[in-house]
């Protein structure tokens, strides 16, 4: 970073604000390779922190990491029809090795169900092998024309879980367990509020019986789908011939779940928490949690004192002393832009008093903290910031979620108010299509299901409503 | 693993022994995707442990992780001529996206110098930005016809460091710093002895001024190149137009180093330490360091006691209680085959005596250890095993390294004794070629350079020798 470039204000041009923030803070960059992004050190470290925590949570539910190939032969991809139909247009094809033409084309995995099926087929024999819970951290390829770092890129990174179970009930339970794991992770680690539920038929994953999602509302009121969990039934098992001997000694088809969450999450972090000065990173995941800015650094002993301070807190927070030649004012702006949750100002007077000034990125609040208490206080301050970031984002999401009971109400909201619309639905694809065509508004998720007959009518068709749905524009 | 399949003895068929061990212990499997391997949970966890330690060591020398694209446009790859010439035959080409033909072909990275060059070009401005030290963990693709898990696969995994420096001296120092880092890592973490030094001209990396390597001798006497560190000079910078303003205010070309170590290392672990009963894993990296085998598990309280024992040592070693239905004898064989450094036998009599039996995988030695001392003793036992594995492998390597002074001596050794040949060389490519054609023996590395004139003659040509070289057959 050579200079503190100005960032386009959010309300002037949100898309440009996003690109400014992401590229100028070192989270991501466009590469000269079409559709592919670069993650420089800062963005890469953020992703490493996100990965480490999510990996630990996934391991806790008993899934084990594996590595499967990136390449899929064409015939293998075509084995499950709905699945290939869903992905075919986005697939990148390898046709040559050196000068030689390949006998069969290979594609870059757009997801790995078919590879896991091959693995399962060769591994599973009896019910004793079930449940089998696997996970993979991988790069994934879906050709995209209009790309934006993290949100939509031809190469992206994710975690993909694949599990097999004896019964439908058990597989569905797994699907929900992961759904809850993702919810908790977003809320407790990334300070992201969300709405969550089942996808409608038209928005499901290609090949899934049921898809669960959570949708996070960005600053501009649009939804970002962040993590999905699928119950895939026995379709893949049938297509790939995966069978096992069940408890009764008969051949049976296992029930499949898959679930994934991607580098898109980073886009959500940026667009939910950021402000006109740049990034605001949730404390638990920030690469640097506390930046120490020495004041009057040219004076003897100041830098040493700052480094001593750094050492004293390094066990409880990720910290960094900014010893560059820039002025303190410049450094404040830079670390603000890069979203560091707190900066610690530390100069001659502070050293004399045995205190330092702790400034919150999210609110700008300043507190004078005794150096001897800093190690104890910082984790509390960081948790307070986390809680406050979550509450602020949740309040915004709630204030931008509007109830509608009729098509007129939906129209009024869709035309004037960015955000989510909560409206009952009859379950008919025609009604869903109408909203999509009229307002580019799609069903984000089903948040409630009316089991008994009610008087509630579908806000679109006027027919009896079966579901309460969150509708919105999606990234 | 369904049954303890027998493993082909090493001296009967070493290649089959290797495949048996690797596939039956769950380190790797062939996939139905030509040339690509699968890493099941056990192999994947081993690799995760290897990565974590190496990543920490690399971060300690100041390198930061980044993520660059997997795809390289054809025109970009062709920018550095020596480089493309070295890789062209092995490159996989993408020609289509969905149904559409691409305007320019994309290849899967066979290494990432050109991508890093693009990144550097857009990032480096002045000498203040140097040195810039970056690292990437990535999947890499080089089309291979005859593949073996870990040793030679079309997709493999590595860490690749790329650094820029102001001066040649500094870049060469970095090259050596990494050379030493890899040496220490292999010896201290993986218990692998090695010979190390510079590569001859014909064995250098495509585009490098100098390549340093370390070669590890496998059980069969063949060499496995394990990690290379290159000084690339300013050729890439020139080809890609990477310049910076130097301390004198003039435009200058930075000096480039790159270095990498791959999943091949796992092959080295297997082929150096393994025996006819299977894997012998070095303690620091083993996914399970101590397997607890309950004896007379059907008796009340035994399994609970084993779990209590597990809990008491879980903070100091990676451990696992084998509570499966198999007999203790079966379990002994299974954990031996999987190379777990120690097994702990724990039954009614042990519980009564407050002791347990600790059995070393590498030597079969048994020791009775008081349960109260186990937590303190286990790390010592594991270090003893590490040291002993290293010494054993080193002794074997030394006993299979033969000195030769004449072509007759080389011929005699090459024809009768597997292992390394240490022989002086004049530096002439013709002499090198002769050995390659006659015995498939290549220069592995230059271990000494004769700065002054000596009486020593090249063992091949009879001309005055310039170098002492380790020659051998290579994987």
Question: What's the pLDDT score for residue A460?
Answer: 96
Q: Name the pLDDT band for A379 (thresholds 50, 70, 90).
A: very high
Q: Does B139 touch chain A (CB under 8 A)?
A: yes
Helix (H) or strand (E) holding B97: strand B92-97
Q: Does B324 touch chain A (CB under 8 A)?
A: no
**3-class state of residue A8 by DSSP:** coil
Interface of A with B in 220-249 (CB under 8 A): none
Shortest Cα–Cα distance, A152 to chain B (Å) = 14
* Contact yes or no for B65 and A44 at CB 8 A: yes
Helix and strand numbers (H, E) in chain A are: 14, 23
Q: Does A382 touch chain B (CB under 8 A)?
A: no
Contact list in A for residue B95 (CB cut-off 8 A) is 93-96
Q: Name the pLDDT band for A4 (thresholds 50, 70, 90).
A: low
Question: What's the pLDDT score for residue B461?
Answer: 95
pTM score, two decimals?
0.96
Residues lower than pLDDT 70 in chain B: 1-5
* Contact yes or no for B47 and A67 at CB 8 A: yes
Inter-CA distances, B133 with B129, B160, B210, B401, Å: 10, 11, 19, 37
* Contact yes or no for A31 and B115 at CB 8 A: yes
Shortest Cα–Cα distance, B219 to chain A (Å) = 27
DSSP state of B202: G
Contact list in A for residue B134 (CB cut-off 8 A) is 41
Of A2, A31, A48, the CB nearest to B65: A48
Q: Does B92 touch chain A (CB under 8 A)?
A: yes
* Contact yes or no for A108 and B94 at CB 8 A: yes
Shortest Cα–Cα distance, B183 to chain A (Å) = 26
Of A38, A123, A125, the CB nearest to B119: A38
* Contact yes or no for B91 and A98 at CB 8 A: yes
Based on the number of CB atoms within 10 Å of its own CB, is B11 exposed (0-12), middle (13-18) or buried (19 or more)?
A: exposed
Question: What's the pLDDT score for residue A88?
Answer: 87
Which of A3, A27, A28, A38 has the highest number of chain B CBs within 10 A, making it the mutation to test binding with B?
A38
Handedness of CA B417, B420, B421, B425 (dihedral sign): positive
Shortest Cα–Cα distance, A86 to chain B (Å) = 12
Average pLDDT over residues A303-321: 97
Q: Does A56 touch chain B (CB under 8 A)?
A: no
Based on the number of CB atoms within 10 Å of its own CB, is A28 exposed (0-12), middle (13-18) or buried (19 or more)?
A: buried
User: pLDDT tens across A351-372, in order?
Assistant: 999 999 999 999 999 999 999 9
* Contact yes or no for B94 and A92 at CB 8 A: yes
Shortest Cα–Cα distance, A70 to chain B (Å) = 8
Going by C-beta distance under 8 Å and a sequence separation of 6 or more, which residues neighbour residue B284? B53, B188, B189, B190, B191, B382, B386
Q: What percent of chain A has pLDDT over 70?
A: 99
Handedness of CA B303, B309, B314, B318 (dihedral sign): negative
Place of tokens 């979550």: A390
Q: Name the pLDDT band for A341 (thresholds 50, 70, 90).
A: very high
CA-nearest residue to B157 within chain A is A67
Of A48, A66, A91, the CB nearest to B41: A66
Contact list in A for residue B123 (CB cut-off 8 A) is 40
Pairing, β B420-425 against β B401-403: parallel
Of A44, A67, A139, the CB nearest to B44: A67
Question: What's the pLDDT score for residue A206?
Answer: 87
CB A340 within 8 A of CB A289: yes
CA-nearest residue to B84 within chain A is A98
Interface of A with B in 149-168 (CB under 8 A): 154-155, 157
Residue of B237, B66, B49 whose CA lies nearest to B135: B66
Pairing, β B442-449 against β B467-472: antiparallel
Per the prediction, chain A carries an average pLDDT of 96
Going by C-beta distance under 8 Å and a sequence separation of 6 or more, which residues neighbour residue B64? A41, A44, A45, B133, B134, B135
Q: Name the pLDDT band for A85 (thresholds 50, 70, 90).
A: confident
Which of B23, B48, B68, B121 has the highest number of chain A CBs within 10 A, making it the mutation to test binding with A?
B68
Contact list in B for residue A91 (CB cut-off 8 A) is 97-98
Question: What's the pLDDT score for residue A3?
Answer: 46
Report how many Cβ contacts below 8 Å link chain A to chain B. 148
Alpha helices in A148-263 (DSSP H): 168-190, 235-240
Q: On the CB side of B174, how many CA atoms lie within 13 Å of its CA?
A: 30
Q: Does B99 touch chain A (CB under 8 A)?
A: yes
- Does residue A82 register a pLDDT over 90? no
């Amino acid at each position: 970073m050579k200079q503190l470039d100005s960032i386009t204000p959010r309300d002037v041009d949100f898309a440009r604000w996003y690109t400014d923030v992401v590229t100028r803070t070192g989270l991501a960059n466009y590469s000269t390779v079409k559709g592919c992004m670069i993650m420089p050190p800062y963005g890469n470290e953020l992703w490493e922190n996100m990965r480490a925590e999510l990996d630990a949570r996934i391991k806790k539910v008993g899934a084990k990491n594996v590595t499967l190939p990136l390449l899929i032969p064409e015939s293998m991809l075509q084995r499950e029809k709905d699945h290939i139909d869903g992905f075919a247009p986005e697939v990148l094809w390898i046709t040559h090795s050196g000068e030689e033409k390949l006998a069969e084309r290979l594609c870059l995995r757009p997801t790995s169900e078919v590879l896991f099926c091959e693995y399962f087929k060769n591994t599973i024999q009896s019910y004793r092998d079930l449940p089998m819970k696997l996970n993979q951290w991988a790069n994934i390829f879906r050709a995209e024309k209009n790309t934006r770092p993290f949100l939509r890129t031809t190469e992206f990174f994710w975690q993909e879980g694949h599990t097999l179970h004896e019964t439908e009930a058990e597989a569905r339970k797994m699907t929900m367990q992961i759904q809850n794991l993702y919810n908790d992770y977003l809320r407790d680690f990334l300070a992201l509020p969300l709405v969550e539920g089942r996808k409608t038929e038209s928005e499901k994953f290609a090949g899934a019986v049921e898809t669960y999602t959570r949708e996070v509302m960005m600053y501009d009121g649009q939804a970002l789908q962040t993590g999905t969990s699928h119950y895939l039934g026995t379709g893949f098992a049938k297509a790939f011939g995966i069978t096992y001997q069940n408890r009764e000694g008969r051949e049976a088809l296992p029930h499949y779940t898959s679930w994934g969450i991607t580098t898109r999450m980073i886009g959500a972090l940026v667009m939910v928490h950021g402000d006109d000065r740049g990034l605001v990173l949730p404390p638990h995941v920030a690469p640097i949690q506390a930046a120490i800015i020495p004041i009057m650094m040219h004076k003897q002993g100041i830098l040493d004192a700052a480094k001593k301070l750094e050492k004293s807190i390094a066990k409880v927070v990720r910290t960094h002393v900014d010893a560059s030649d820039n002025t303190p004012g410049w450094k404040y702006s830079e670390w603000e832009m890069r979203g560091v949750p707190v900066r610690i100002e530390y100069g001659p007077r502070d050293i004399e008093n045995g205190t330092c000034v702790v400034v919150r990125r999210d609110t700008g609040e300043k507190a004078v903290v005794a150096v001897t208490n800093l190690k104890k206080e910082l984790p509390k301050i960081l948790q307070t910031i986390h809680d406050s970031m979550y509450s602020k984002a949740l309040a915004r999401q709630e204030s931008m979620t509007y109830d509608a009971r009729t098509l007129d109400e939906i129209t009024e909201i869709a035309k004037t108010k960015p955000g989510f619309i909560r409206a009952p639905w009859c379950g008919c694809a025609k009604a869903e299509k109408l909203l999509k065509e009229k307002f580019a508004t799609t069903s984000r998720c089903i948040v409630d299901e009316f089991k008994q007959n009610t008087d509630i009518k579908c806000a679109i068709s006027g027919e009896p409503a079966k579901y309460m749905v969150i509708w919105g524009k999606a990234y």
